[in-house]
């Protein structure tokens, strides 16, 4: 945990959610990909020490959070997020969401006021067609094998994450994510099952948001390629796009450039 950070646990619908907070200023709520934890946003918090309070949420069973009695789903995560921020008294935050965290952020922003939205390789911006369902089914089967305890899973997951986070800057985080892979295989399987459902398509929901949005995408993302999501991004009302070298999480893979871009985006939000 970063020096000066504070850990809080908030109970929502019987689930203990760990929240790590650091800094003073405008609230910035950070939402990770499945399989990740609050440390993903350490580089950003370290590079933006003034003017922001970074509120890092750990999803159920991730990091220091307790288990959920409901399966992983962006809609479920949005419900938990609303509950956590309600208990904490956080209103009109900036949301940063990566992967499933991006899909969660869009859902939250469609229901409750936010100052701005940062979407990093966000889920939900492609059609859930036959091709998407087949791909999700293959990945779900991969994680189901991990859930069963397949002997080869850890090595295969390590190779998979070299594609997801290929940059040197993310190496330490990648090793920790891989270490936790077998333990989180059930949550990863549930997440990929949810991505194949019709309600995973939130393109229309995102297009209706009338808020400032910064889309920060990793150029070499093989899980959620920018080219697949570009039509949905082009429909966003008040959005700008920055493309970074990397595989899935620009704030981890290009921390200096991302922090500079985030400060510029936040400076333009006003009150």
Closest residue by Cα to residue 249 from 155, 138, 169, 140 = 169
Query: pLDDT of 230-259, one tens digit each?
Result: 999 999 999 999 999 999 999 999 999 999
pTM, two decimals, is 0.97
Classify residue 163: in a domain, yes or no. Answer: no
- Tell me how far apart the alpha carbons of residues 205 and 127 are, in angstroms, rounded to a whole number: 13
Classify residue 259: in a domain, yes or no. Answer: yes
- Give the helix ranges, DSSP H, for 62-202: 74-88, 100-111, 130-148, 153-164, 171-195
Query: pLDDT of 192-224, one tens digit each?
Result: 999 999 999 999 999 999 999 999 999 999 999
Query: pLDDT of 125-136, one tens digit each?
Result: 999 999 999 999
Q: Would you say residue 271 has pLDDT above 70?
A: no
Judged by DSSP in three states, 111 sits in: helix
Query: pLDDT of 53-89, one tens digit each?
Result: 999 999 999 999 999 999 999 999 999 999 999 999 9
Classify residue 210: in a domain, yes or no. Answer: yes
In CATH, what number is assigned to the domain containing residue 96? Answer: 3.40.50.1820
Percent of the chain with pLDDT strictly greater than 90: 98
Classify residue 175: in a domain, yes or no. Answer: no
Classify residue 136: in a domain, yes or no. Answer: no
Give the per-residue pLDDT at 1.
85
Domains in the chain, number: 1
Residue 251 host element (H or E): helix 250-253
Classify residue 47: in a domain, yes or no. Answer: yes
Query: pLDDT of 1-16, one tens digit each?
Result: 888 899 999 999 999 9
Classify residue 139: in a domain, yes or no. Answer: no
Query: pLDDT of 152-199, one tens digit each?
Result: 999 999 999 999 999 999 999 999 999 999 999 999 999 999 999 999
Classify residue 137: in a domain, yes or no. Answer: no
- Rg of the chain's alpha carbons, rounded to an integer? 17
Range of the domain at 13: 6-127+201-267
Helix 153-164 and helix 171-195: axis angle, to 10°?
100
């Amino acid at each position: 945990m970063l020096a000066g950070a504070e850990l809080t646990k908030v109970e929502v619908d019987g689930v203990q959610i760990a929240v790590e907070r650091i800094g003073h200023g405008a609230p910035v709520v950070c939402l990770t990909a499945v399989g990740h934890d609050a440390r993903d946003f350490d580089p950003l918090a370290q590079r933006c020490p003034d003017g922001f309070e970074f509120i890092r949420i750990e999803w159920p069973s991730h990091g220091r959070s307790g288990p959920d009695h409901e399966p992983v789903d962006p809609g479920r995560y949005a419900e938990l997020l609303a509950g956590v921020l309600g208990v904490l008294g956080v209103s009109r935050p900036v949301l940063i969401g990566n992967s499933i965290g991006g899909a969660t952020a869009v859902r939250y922003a469609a229901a409750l006021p936010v100052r701005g939205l940062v979407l990093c390789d966000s889920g939900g911006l492609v059609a859930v067609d036959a091709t998407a369902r087949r791909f999700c089914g293959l990945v779900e089967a991969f994680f189901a094998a991990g859930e069963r305890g397949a002997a080869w899973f850890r090595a295969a997951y390590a190779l998979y994450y070299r594609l997801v986070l290929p940059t040197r800057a993310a190496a330490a985080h990648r090793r920790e994510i891989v270490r936790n892979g077998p333990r989180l295989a059930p949550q990863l399987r549930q997440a990929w099952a949810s991505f194949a459902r019709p309600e995973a398509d939130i393109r229309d929901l995102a297009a209706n948001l009338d808020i400032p949005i910064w889309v920060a995408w990793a150029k070499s993302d093989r899980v959620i390629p920018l080219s697949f999501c570009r039509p949905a991004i082009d429909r966003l009302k008040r959005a700008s796009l920055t493309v970074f070298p990397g595989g899935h999480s620009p704030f981890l893979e290009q921390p200096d450039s991302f922090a500079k871009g985030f400060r510029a985006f936040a400076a333009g939000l006003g009150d």
